[in-house]
Amino acid sequence: MKILVTGGAGFIGSHIVDAYITLGHEVVVVDNLITGQRKNLNPQAKFYELDIRFAELRDLVAAEAPDIINHQAAQMNIRQSVIAPCFDAENNILGSINLLEAACAAKVQHFIFASSGGAIYGEHDYLPADEDHPLRPLSPYGIAKLAIEKYLDYYRVVQGLYSISLRYANVYGARQNPKGEAGVIAIFCEKLLRGESPTINGNGFQTRDYIYIDDVVQANILALDYRSDDVHIFNIGTSLETHLNDIFALLKDIIKLDIQSLYGEAKLGEQMRNVLDIKRAAAYLGWKPQVSLAKGLRYTLAAYRREFYNIL
């Protein structure tokens, strides 16, 4: 198949591109390189440096005529969305609609959307949160993800575009940018490898569901063949709740560094607990995470040593 991947030079998107190419698919990457990096681009993919908000996107999609679009591109910084909600909406809502319009005009068969299990539910009424949990996003970023899920309902029912939304938990792994993407594990890895103390906002007892990049990629592989008129949304996480203090302790133990974390002011509006129920993905997609947190953290630290510090 020919697959167009937006954000294919970014952290998650580049791993998905690599996997699709390994499986023998033809891959086209669209990325504006604002947060994506050229070094992440697979040389076997056809690359267009283009913003998904631009009108030229429709001509590109028409010319390439992909069978499937996998939409990973986003303004992904939650705090930035709070500071600049209009900018977030331009990228994450209007840019996505522009892509959906292009998909329909080009008669694309299937649309895979990277949604957010970390931001779309808000504070949980129960744990772990399943896909039927009330949706009360606390940031413009989460609101935008929810909006596109609703647009996908419209395009599926009215325009006939099959789609699937994957609500990611907190994804971590190699290539995550500790400067631009605000992933706490990436930030901690960089600080610890430099021998510096990371700052934890609040008391460190806030919890998240951390999912390793390889498991997210596998969900995107299984999503290629998924078609349904009824069930379209899936949590992609681990169903394991981990304190931020525990992440720091695990990383410190792996790297064997005697260092203490620093504590700063808690961020206003920060969600305290987040963990996803993944039974639906197991039942419908045959997907389950395979990489434990301890193993994923070791893999991630090893990747940062090689890439940023050349420590073998």
Active site (annotated) includes residue 141: yes
Instruction: Give, for 166, the enclosing helix (H) or strand (E).
Output: strand 162-168
- At residue 296, the 3 state secondary structure works out as helix
- Cβ neighbours of residue 283 closer than 8 Å, sequence gap 6 or more: none
Nearest to 290 by CA among 185, 209, 218: 218
- 147 in Cβ contact with 94 (< 8 Å): no
Token pair 């395979």 is found at 290
Nearest to 45 by CA among 95, 7, 82, 8: 8
Q: Do you know the residue count of the chain?
A: 312
Instruction: Find the radius of gyration of the CA atoms of the chain.
Output: 19
Helix ranges, 165-225 (H): 184-193, 213-222
Residue 216: how many other CB atoms lie within 10 Å: 24
Nearest to 28 by CA among 99, 87, 97, 115: 99
**Pairing status of strand 162-168 against strand 46-49:** unpaired
Token pair 């981990």 is found at 242
Nearest to 124 by CA among 274, 234, 244, 243: 274
Nearest to 5 by CA among 27, 23, 25, 21: 27
- 161 in Cβ contact with 104 (< 8 Å): yes
- 190 in Cβ contact with 301 (< 8 Å): no
Tokens in use for 21? 């190419």
List 20, 121, 141, 168, catalytic entry: 141
Known catalytic residues are: 141
